[in-house]
Amino acid sequence: MKLSFLRWPRTLFARLALILCIGLVLAQTLSFWLTLTERDQATTNVMMGYIEREAASSVALLDHLPPAERPQWLPRLARRSYEFILGPGITGTPPDARLSKMVAKSIADGIGTDYALTVNAVPGDKERMQVHLKLTDGTPLTIDMRPMSGVPLSPWLPLVLALQLIVLAACCWLAVRLATRPLHALATAADALGPDLKAARLPEDGPSEVARASKAFNAMQDRIATYMTERMQILASISHDLQTPITRMRLRVDVMDDDPQHAKLQQDLQEMESLVKEGVAYARTLHGAAEAPIRIDPDALLDSLMCDYVDAGSDVSLEGNIGAPLVTRPQALRRILGNLIDNALKYGGSARIVVASSPPDGSVMISVRDSGPGIPPELLETVFEPFYRVEESRNRQTGGTGLGLAIARQLALAMDASLSLHNNLPEGGLEARLILAKTR
């Protein structure tokens, strides 16, 4: 059962450090308490034995002294925790305090049965008691006791305990750091493993478990790179082999006489050639982008892209600006936006580019909106699959291979960006959101 009132830290490092620190503090506290308890019990036992011997010898000495000499011996026989009084003392109730009962028992054991003892607590003082007895000549004698409870602590003990806790916390932090660092390195390597499959290899050293995980990750990376290379080679070979027969077929169609099938054959050949080119382009995006990121003016790129479409007679508008340089792959960015704008024009008749910048996280969002019929919510992610077309919401007669959005998504991943589709409600239409991380 999950306890909802527990609020664990989100990182494994913080969780392990918290558990170890709490455990060490509790263990140190328990050890300190046990030590003090044992020390207090040992000191109490020693004190009881001392009181038992001293009280018995002092009473015997006073009993053997002449009555006239007894008063001058009282200061000599006094101790920090008790003193002798020649008199009946103060009466009261029997002692309730644990230490007072122990002292009374020790005195009674030391004096023995030679003297009749009565013990009572002094009213108003919890840990003060008096033991009353009579010497052999009938003189009343009172032992006024103030038992010392507890063991005084040395002034340097709290400092030593604080230093111990600091050392334990530092060792705990170092141990957890060493334990979680390989996980952090593995997560960083996994995040860096993009479509280009050129992430840095993990060092295969350290503890056996860490070295084994690093070797497994590096081997997985090599296998994926091999599979992707073979896939691209297969698609490139198919494209190369298809180009020649397609070219021959187009030449034969061009020399054909006017025939009702002439236009249909030309259209089929164009679709085949477009499909081959798009397939190779998609394979290249999966294999990685060879374009290096550079610093550009994104507002100028967007304005140039919009002007190209407007010059071609398309209904494309631009709203907003970034107002800062951007480090990205300009050709990949242009191709992504081109695919999105083409889709908006093809299925909505117009395209509206909206740019917004988010200062807190430094991200940039570029939206391409259209006024078309939109896409069913359950298919907003499915349309990014290769060769997928939404027949219910998009007109199949407009053409296309079903690879445009797939290529755009792969290029976005290669740029460390995110691409998603959203239906514009309630005004209708579809919105494609491209979120880029801003690097100045």
Judge if 30 and 16 occupy the same domain: yes
Q: Are 300 and 280 found together in one domain?
A: no
Query: Are the C-beta atoms of residues 330 and 295 closer than 8 Å to each other?
Result: no
Residue 1 lies in a domain: no
Q: Residue 215: which pLDDT band, with cuts at 50, 70 and 90?
A: confident
Pair 30, 134 in one domain: yes
Has residue 396 got a pLDDT over 60? no
Interatomic CA distance for residues 95 and 120, integer angstroms:
5
Residues 277 and 301 in one domain: no
Asked if residue 408 has pLDDT above 70, the reply is yes
User: How far is the C-alpha of 31 from the C-alpha of 25, rounded, in Å?
Assistant: 10
Q: Which of 268, 288, 308 is the last residue of a domain?
A: 288
Q: Return the higher-pLDDT residue of 244 and 332.
A: 332
Q: Are residues 337 and 416 in the same domain?
A: yes
Q: How far apart are CA 48 and CA 102, in angstroms?
A: 7
Residue 189 lies in a domain: no
In this structure, are 228 and 354 located in the same domain? no
Mean of the per-residue pLDDT values for the chain?
77
Cα-based distances in Å from 346 to 84, 375, 395: 112, 14, 9
> What pLDDT digit, counting tens, does each position of 301-317 carry?
999 999 999 988 889 99
Tell me: pLDDT of 263 over 80: no
Domain extent for 433: 292-437
Same-domain status, 265 and 310: no
Asked which of 39-53, 93-107, 135-149, 275-289 is least confident by mean pLDDT, the reply is 275-289
Residue 174 lies in a domain: no
28 & 53 share domain: yes
Do 347 and 257 fall within a single domain?
Answer: no
- Give the pLDDT score at 163: 84
Rounded mean pLDDT, 377-387: 81
Check whether 270 has a pLDDT greater than 80. Answer: no
Q: Which residue in 271, 384, 287, 398 sits closest to 336, CA to CA? A: 384
Stronger pLDDT, 99 or 303, i.e. the higher one: 303
Q: Tokens 């740029």 correspond to what residue?
A: 415
The pLDDT-based confidence of 217 (bands split at 50, 70, 90) is confident
Residue 78 in this model has a pLDDT that exceeds 80: yes
426: cis peptide before it, omega within 30°?
Answer: yes
- Exposed e or buried b for every residue in 326-336, given b needs 16+ CB within 10 A? bebbbebbebb
CB atoms within 10 A of CB 316: 20
3-state secondary structure of 421: strand
**Burial grade of 71 (CB within 10 A; 0-12, 13-18, 19 or more):** exposed
CA dist 128 to 45, 218, 324, Å? 19, 78, 82
| CATH number of the domain residue 269 falls in | 1.10.287.130
Whether residues 93 and 213 share a domain: the answer is no
Q: Looking at the whole model, is its pTM more than 0.85?
A: no
Give the number of domains in the chain.
Answer: 3
Residue 408 burial (C-beta neighbours within 10 Å; 0-12, 13-18, 19+): buried
Q: Which CATH number goes with the domain that contains 123? A: 3.30.450
**pLDDT per position as a tens digit, 177-204:** 877 777 777 777 777 666 556 667 778 8
**Of all helices (H) and strands (E), which one includes residue 106?**
helix 98-111
